[in-house]
Amino acid sequence: MVDDASPEWNLELEYRPFSLELETPLETADGTIEHREGFLVKLTDVAGDDGSDTVGYGEAAPLPGWTESPADCEAALARAKEAARDGPNEALEAVEEQVAARHAVALALADLGATREATPLYRYVGKGPMIGRVPVNATIGDGSPGETAGAATDAVDRGFQCCKLKAGRRTVAADVERVRRVRDAVGDDVELRVDANEAWTYEEAMRAIEEFAALDVAVLEQPLPAGALEGHADLREAAADTPVSIALDEGVLEHGVDAICETRAADALVLKPMALGGIDVARKVAAWVQELDLTPIVTTTIDGVVARTGAVHLAASIPDVPACGLATGEFLAEDLGTDPVLMEKGAAVVPQTKGLGVEGVWEA
Ligand SMILES: O=C(O)CCC(=O)C1=CC=C[C@@H](O)[C@@H]1C(=O)O
Ligand SMILES: [Mg+2]
C-alpha cells in the first residue's frame, strides 16, 4: 500500500515490451536461460500548472517456472494502466496476483516517490543509513570442470570474493570434481556456493554435502525439489557440523517463510524480488527472515538494468546483507539502458542519486 498521506497523485502508466539476448547463456539444472523478455514500465506523475512531471521506471521480466506467463503479465499491466488513473493503490491492486507485473508497478511507484523526495531508492524504502556498497557473488554457469574453474578464476581476478556455481546437470561426482577444480584454482579465501536448482535426491545431496564440506563450500542452494521441506530439514541437520549452510530458493516460493522456519528447513533464503512480487514485498520478507535468525540473500532473475538496479537498492536497504546475486548484468549482450551500478572488488557500488538512478531507458 502506498501511504495515503502522500501528496496528490495524477498518474499515467505506460509500458512497452523488450527482448534482451544473453551474451553468455546461463546453464542451470533447470534449463538454459538464453534471452529475457519483458516489459518496461514508465509511470509519470503529471504535475499541475505549478510544477514539472516526475517519472518512475519499473520492469516486469516474467521467467517460466518463477512468475506468471508473459501473456498474463501483459494483461495485468494493461489493467494497471487503466487503474493507475485512480491512484497508486488501485494500480497495485490490478497486478496483485501477477508477481512480475506487480514488481514493475511497485518499483515504478517507489522510483517515482524517491525521485520526488530527491532520495536514493534504498533510503526511501528502508529509511536506514547511507550505504556505499553491497557485497555480491559472481554467478557461474553449469559448464565443464575447465570452463567452471576458468570462469571462477576470471571472477576472482576481477575482484569477486564469492562465487556461486550452478550444478546438478551431471553426476554428483562430476559436480564435486568441478568444485574441487574451482577450489584449487581460487584458493582457500574465496567463498564458494553451489546452486543445484532442485536436481538431487536426498542421497545425492547427502553425498554432495559430505564432499563439499571438505572443500569448504559455504552454501548449498536448493539441492532437492521445492516440495521437499522435510528432506531439506534433514539435510540441514546433517550439515549442522559442517561449513555447509542450506539455502532455499524455489522452496521459498512454494512454502513461504513460516513453513520453512517451523520445519527448520534452511539457514538462508534466496529472495528474488521479481518472483516475490516486488522489492517492497521482498523487503518485508527479508526483515521477517532476519527476525527469525535466517539469512536473506537477494538475487536477480537475470534482469534488465531497471530491475537489477532495484534489487541492488533492495539489498542496500537490508542491514548486514551477505553477498548477493546481483552481478548478473554481465550475462546480457544488450541492456535497457546505461548501468548506474559499478561492480568493484566484489561489491556493487550503490547509486546515491535520487530514485533508482537509472536514466534514459525510455528514450533508448
Ligand atoms: O544468484 C545469483 O547469483 C544470480 C541469479 C541466479 O542464479 C538465478 C536467476 C534466475 C534463475 C535461476 O536459475 C537462478 C537461481 O536459481 O538462483
Ligand atoms: Mg537458485
User: Do the beta carbons of residue 341 and residue 358 sit within 8 Å?
Assistant: no
User: Do residues 96 and 182 both lie within one domain?
Assistant: no
Cβ contact 230:236 at 8 Å: no
Question: Side by side, which strands form the sheet with 31-45?
Answer: 11-28, 31-45, 54-60
The interface predicted TM-score (ipTM) is 0.99
Q: How confident is the model over 197-255, as pLDDT tens digits?
A: 999 999 999 999 999 999 999 999 999 999 999 999 999 999 999 999 999 999 999 99
Which pLDDT score is estimated for 128?
95
Q: Write the residue with the smallest CA distance to atom 10 of ligand 1.
A: 301
Could you tell me if 165 and 208 are in contact, meaning their C-beta atoms sit under 8 angstroms apart?
Answer: no
Strands, sheet with 191-195, edge to edge from the N-terminal-most edge strand: 138-140, 162-166, 191-195, 217-221, 245-248, 268-271, 295-298
> 124 in a domain, yes or no?
no
CA atoms within 13 A on the CB side of 312: 35
- Read off the amino acid at residue 247: A
Domain boundary pick from 118, 152, 167: 118
* Mutation choice for ligand 1 from 20, 28, 162, 253, CB with most ligand atoms inside 8 A: 28
Q: Please check whether residues 68 and 188 belong to one and the same domain.
A: no
Reading the block at residue 301, the C-alpha cell is 532473475
Cα–Cα distance, 148 to 166 (Å, whole number): 9
pLDDT in tens, 297-345: 999 999 999 999 999 999 999 999 999 999 999 999 999 999 999 999 9
67 and 203 belong to one structural domain: no
> Do 95 and 212 belong together in one domain?
no
For residue 321, is it within any domain?
yes
| Whether residue 311 sits in one domain with residue 165 | yes
114 and 160 both lie in a single domain: no
Share of the chain above pLDDT 70, in %: 97
Alpha-helical (H) ranges within 117-144 are 121-126
Q: 160 with 251, same domain?
A: yes
Q: What is the CATH number of the domain that holds 326?
A: 3.20.20.120
- Report pLDDT for 2: 60
Do 277 and 151 reside in the same domain of the chain?
yes
33 has a pLDDT exceeding 70? yes
Using pLDDT thresholds of 50, 70 and 90, give the confidence band for residue 3: low
Tell me which H or E stretch contains 38: strand 31-45
Phi, psi at 297, each rounded to 5°: -120, 120
Distance 94 CA to ligand 2 centre (A): 29
**DSSP-derived secondary structure letter, 130:** -
Q: pLDDT, tens digit, for every residue of 171-191?
A: 999 999 999 999 999 999 999
Q: Are residues 197 and 58 in the same domain?
A: no
Task: Assess whether 166 carries a catalytic annotation.
Answer: yes
Choose one of 328, 330, 332 to mutate for the ligand 1 pocket test, by most ligand atoms within 8 angstroms of C-beta: 328
Q: Which residues line ligand 1 (CB under 6 A)?
A: 28, 30, 137, 139, 164, 195, 197, 249, 270, 299-302, 325, 328
Same domain assignment for residues 60 and 152: no
- Residue 111: which domain range? 11-118
Domain's final residue, options 88, 118, 148: 118
CA distance 61 to 69: 10
127 catalytically annotated: no
d(CA 175, CA 144): 9
| 5, pLDDT greater than 80 | no
**What's residue 52's pLDDT?**
87
pLDDT band at 7 (very low <50, low <70, confident <90, very high): low
Continuous segment of H or E residues that includes residue 175: helix 172-186
**What is the rounded CA–CA span in Å between residue 17 and residue 61?**
10
Q: Which atom of ligand 1 is nearest to the CA of 66?
A: 11
Residue 49: pLDDT band with limits 50, 70, 90: low
Tell me the H-state helices in 191-267. Answer: 202-214, 229-238, 250-263
Q: Is residue 271 part of a domain?
A: yes
Would you give the distance in Å from CA 254 to the centre of its chain?
A: 17
Q: Binding residue per annotation — 249?
A: yes
Q: Nearest-CA neighbor of 88 among 278, 276, 273?
A: 278
Q: Is residue 178 part of a domain?
A: yes
Catalytic residue among 42, 81, 164, 272: 272
Region 250-263: mean pLDDT is 95
pLDDT in tens, 312-321: 999 999 999 9
Helix (H, G, I), strand (E, B) or coil at 192: strand
Beta-sheet pairing, 217-221 with 31-45: unpaired
Kindly report the backbone phi and psi dihedral angles of residue 221, in degrees, each rounded to the nearest multiple of 5, phi listed first: -100, 130
Q: How far is the CA of 77 from the centre of ligand 2 (A)?
A: 27
User: Which is the closest atom of ligand 1 to the Cα of 270?
Assistant: 17
Query: Going by DSSP bridges, is the β-strand pair 217-221/191-195 parallel, antiparallel, or unpaired?
Result: parallel
Question: Phi and psi (nearest 5°) for 360?
Answer: 75, 15
What pLDDT, on a 0 to 100 scale, did the predictor assign at position 51?
79
Q: Region 36-57: what's the mean pLDDT? A: 91
Element (H, E) at 116: helix 99-116
Q: Which of 329, 285, 306, 100 is nearest to 298 (CA)?
A: 285
If one counts the domains in the chain, the total is 2
Among residues 42, 81, 166, 354, the one annotated as catalytic is 166
Q: Ligand 1, residue 28: give the atom nearest the CA.
A: 13
- For residue 156, pLDDT over 60 is answered with yes
Q: Residue 272 domain-assigned?
A: yes
Average pLDDT, the chain: 96
pTM over 0.90: yes
To the question of whether residue 111 is assigned a binding role by annotation, the answer is no
Decide if 28 contacts 299 (C-beta within 8 A): no
